């Protein structure tokens, strides 16, 4: 601020102050007017004396300097506008994809490249199997592919490494002046363990979906406990399960779901547990066992069908076709025509043909004096004299013979005498426990899965399944 401006501001402030004092004095008595006026004069004089310091020197005149600078901005802008621009894109492989449809979603539009790449065998492998895999690409602003990376479908075991180790292959494609540089690189992925828990509200598969458990793992759980729990008839709301299973992951994605390594299922208050044991050097000893090493395998499956509904049970009834009273020596299981029918145990086919009333039927004899008959079939999958393994499909269900609707007539015999099929669990001998020489290896290998089951186990009261009566535990 210059001296002139400062003096003008000071004068204006003094004048305002004087006016304010005049108003105040007018409101009060005259005897104070003289004293206040004197003070005002003294204050104004002091302000002018302090503010005024004499004449001030003017600042020097500014000096201007002009420098010529060469600018390349226009040339740089032209170069940027003319340069190829690269777009980074990603897409998921779809089940219906072709090489061309995948590339077009990656913004590749060059017709010549689309023709060339569609003829590449490795590119065709990229769009087969395992939908959902991520493929990334670098594409120019002209729609030309510069580079591409993606995971090929499938996993392969590692030749020299742990049994649960797997390899996946990454495909890379690069455009070069000489043509396409296609490379495939194998990468090793170690398995990780994942857990899931659920409670049955309506069906088991609905509970598995709600728990986020893959269908392949849910199917394995059914296979493990199928000789102990009838998943078709005996599940109840409130039944619960805990599972530990392997997954194979890479690049933040689950590449595949692996084996169920331990599981627990609480059915109607009875607790069933299983752990997988991979016996080194003894393939026959590998399998699912109870945590204490007892075998879970049984000689018989509880049902020859994947699912069923009993429409006519064991005992006296009125024949639905002939309308006379008879003793029904088996059970009728309602099932659509064409459903696979499995033998409940190892054995030999002794008959596969037509029988009055039975329609098309198959009879299988099993070791130990047991036999089973599967009737009202639509087609045979075995022939007389053929050896069959437990769970092997022997026929397709139908509606042949004396039948009022599609169903399977299932019979079970012990030394030639028909027995209620719902009681066959009483006759199923237990399998072989972990061999004594492998017991230390079994306990060491299953320690982690058993600990995980203990961590995720619920607090609902349960009864040990081995201590429960077979009928109560298996048939409700």
Examine the pLDDT at 109 and tell me if it is beyond 60.
yes
The pLDDT confidence band at residue 5, using thresholds 50, 70 and 90, is low
Burial-class residue 427 by CB neighbours within 10 Å (0-12, 13-18, 19+): middle
At 340, is the secondary structure helix, strand, or coil? strand
Q: Using H for helix, E for strand and C for coil, what is the string for 175-220?
A: EECCEEEEEEEEEEECEEEEEEEEECCCCHHHHHHHCCCCHHHHHH
Residue 336 CB-half CA count within 13 A: 4
Please provide the average confidence, as pLDDT, over all residues in the chain: 80
Query: Phi-psi region for residue 265, left (φ > 0), alpha (ψ -120 to 50) or beta?
Result: beta
pLDDT of residue 295: 81
Q: Using H for helix, E for strand and C for coil, what is the string for 248-300?
A: EEECCEEEEEEEEEEEEEEECCEEEEEEEECCCCCHHHCEEECCCCCECCECC
What's the rounded Cα separation, in Å, for the pair 149 and 9? 76
How long is the chain? 476
437-476: pLDDT as tens digits: 888 999 998 888 888 888 776 543 333 333 333 333 333 3
The pLDDT confidence band at residue 193, using thresholds 50, 70 and 90, is confident
Examine the pLDDT at 319 and tell me if it is beyond 80.
no
252-304: pLDDT as tens digits: 777 788 889 999 999 988 899 999 998 887 777 888 898 988 888 777 887 88
Calculate the dihedral angle through the C-alpha atoms of 119, 120, 124, 127, rounding to the nearest 10 degrees. -110
Examine the pLDDT at 90 and tell me if it is beyond 60.
yes
pLDDT of residue 470: 36
pLDDT of residue 217: 92
Burial-class residue 21 by CB neighbours within 10 Å (0-12, 13-18, 19+): middle
How big is the CA angle at 473 (ends 286 and 397), to the nearest 5 degrees? 75
Structure tokens at 289: 């066992």
Sign of the dihedral defined by the CA atoms of residues 249, 253, 254, 256, in that order = negative
pLDDT of residue 350: 95
pLDDT of residue 181: 93
The pLDDT confidence band at residue 388, using thresholds 50, 70 and 90, is very high
What's the rounded Cα separation, in Å, for the pair 223 and 434? 19
Q: What is the mean pLDDT of residues 311-338?
A: 76
pLDDT of residue 476: 31
What radius of gyration, in Å, describes the C-alpha atoms of the chain?
44
pLDDT of residue 429: 72
At 161, is the secondary structure helix, strand, or coil? coil
pTM score above 0.75: no
Nearest residue to 10 via CA among 57, 45, 36, 54? 45
Q: What is the mean pLDDT of residues 136-165?
A: 84
Burial-class residue 440 by CB neighbours within 10 Å (0-12, 13-18, 19+): exposed
What's the rounded Cα separation, in Å, for the pair 244 and 264? 9
339-369: pLDDT as tens digits: 999 999 889 999 999 988 889 999 999 988 9
Pinpoint the alpha helices (H) of 52-203. Answer: 73-82, 99-105, 111-118, 121-126
What's the rounded Cα separation, in Å, for the pair 173 and 118? 13
**What is the share, in percent, of the chain residues with pLDDT greater than 70?**
76
What are residue 266's DSSP bridge partners? 240, 271
Examine the pLDDT at 11 and tell me if it is beyond 70.
no
At 257, give phi and psi (nearest 5°).
Answer: -95, 135
What's the rounded Cα separation, in Å, for the pair 399 and 207? 33
Examine the pLDDT at 40 and tell me if it is beyond 70.
no
Of residues 331 and 16, the one with the higher pLDDT is 331
Examine the pLDDT at 43 and tell me if it is beyond 60.
no
Of residues 317 and 329, the one with the higher pLDDT is 329
pLDDT of residue 467: 37
Q: What is the mean pLDDT of residues 403-409?
A: 87
Examine the pLDDT at 37 and tell me if it is beyond 70.
no
Pairing of strands 253-267, 179-189: unpaired
pLDDT of residue 402: 82
What's the rounded Cα separation, in Å, for the pair 334 and 410? 11
- The single-letter DSSP state of residue 152 is P
242-255: pLDDT as tens digits: 999 988 887 677 77
How big is the CA angle at 38 (ends 34 and 41), to the nearest 5 degrees? 140
């Amino acid at each position: 601020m210059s001296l002139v401006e400062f003096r003008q501001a000071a004068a204006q402030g003094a004048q305002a102050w004087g006016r304010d004092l005049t108003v105040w004095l007018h409101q009060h008595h005259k005897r104070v007017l003289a004293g206040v006026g004197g003070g005002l004069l003294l204050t104004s004089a002091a302000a002018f004396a302090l503010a005024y310091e004499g004449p001030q020197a003017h600042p020097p005149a500014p000096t201007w300097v002009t420098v010529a600078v060469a600018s390349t901005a226009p040339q740089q802008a032209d170069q940027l506008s003319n340069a190829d621009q690269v777009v980074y894109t990603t897409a998921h492989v779809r089940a219906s994809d072709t090489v061309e449809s995948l590339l077009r979603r990656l913004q590749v539009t060059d017709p010549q490249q689309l023709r060339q790449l569609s003829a590449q065998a490795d590119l065709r492998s990229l769009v087969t199997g395992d939908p959902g895999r991520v493929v990334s690409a670098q594409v120019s602003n002209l729609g030309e592919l510069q580079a591409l990376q993606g995971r090929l479908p499938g996993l392969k075991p590692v030749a020299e490494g742990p049994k649960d180790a797997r390899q996946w292959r990454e495909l890379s494609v690069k455009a070069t002046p000489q043509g396409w540089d296609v490379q495939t690189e194998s990468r090793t992925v170690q398995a990780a363990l994942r857990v899931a828990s659920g409670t049955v509200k309506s069906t088991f598969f609905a509970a598995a979906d709600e728990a986020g458990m893959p269908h392949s793992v849910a199917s394995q759980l059914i296979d493990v406990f199928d000789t102990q729990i009838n998943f078709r008839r005996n599940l109840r709301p409130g039944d619960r399960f805990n599972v530990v299973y392997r997954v194979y992951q890479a690049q933040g994605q689950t590449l595949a779901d692996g084996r169920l390594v331990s599981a627990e299922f609480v059915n109607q208050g009875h607790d069933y547990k299983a752990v997988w044991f991979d016996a080194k050097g003894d393939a026959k000893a590998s399998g699912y066992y109870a945590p204490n090493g007892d075998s879970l395998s049984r000689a018989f499956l509880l049902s020859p069908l994947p699912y069923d509904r009993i429409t006519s049970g064991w005992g006296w009834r009125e024949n639905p076709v002939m309308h006379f009273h008879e003793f029904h020596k088996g059970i009728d299981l309602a099932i659509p025509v064409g459903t696979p029918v499995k033998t409940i145990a190892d054995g030999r086919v002794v008959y596969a043909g037509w029988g009055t009333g039975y329609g098309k039927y198959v009879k299988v004899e099993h070791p130990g004096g047991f036999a089973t008959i599967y009737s009202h079939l639509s087609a045979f999958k075995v022939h007389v004299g053929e050896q069959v393994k437990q769970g092997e499909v022997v026929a397709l269900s139908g509606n042949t013979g004396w039948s009022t609707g599609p169903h399977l007539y299932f019979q079970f015999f012990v030394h030639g005498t028909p027995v209620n099929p719902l009681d066959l669990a009483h006759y199923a001998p237990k399998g072989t426990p972990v061999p004594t020489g492998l017991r230390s290896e079994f306990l060491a290998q299953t320690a982690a899965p058993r600990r995980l089951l203990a961590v995720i186990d619920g607090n609902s009261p349960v009864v040990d399944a081995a201590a429960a009566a077979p009928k109560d535990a298996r048939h409700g």
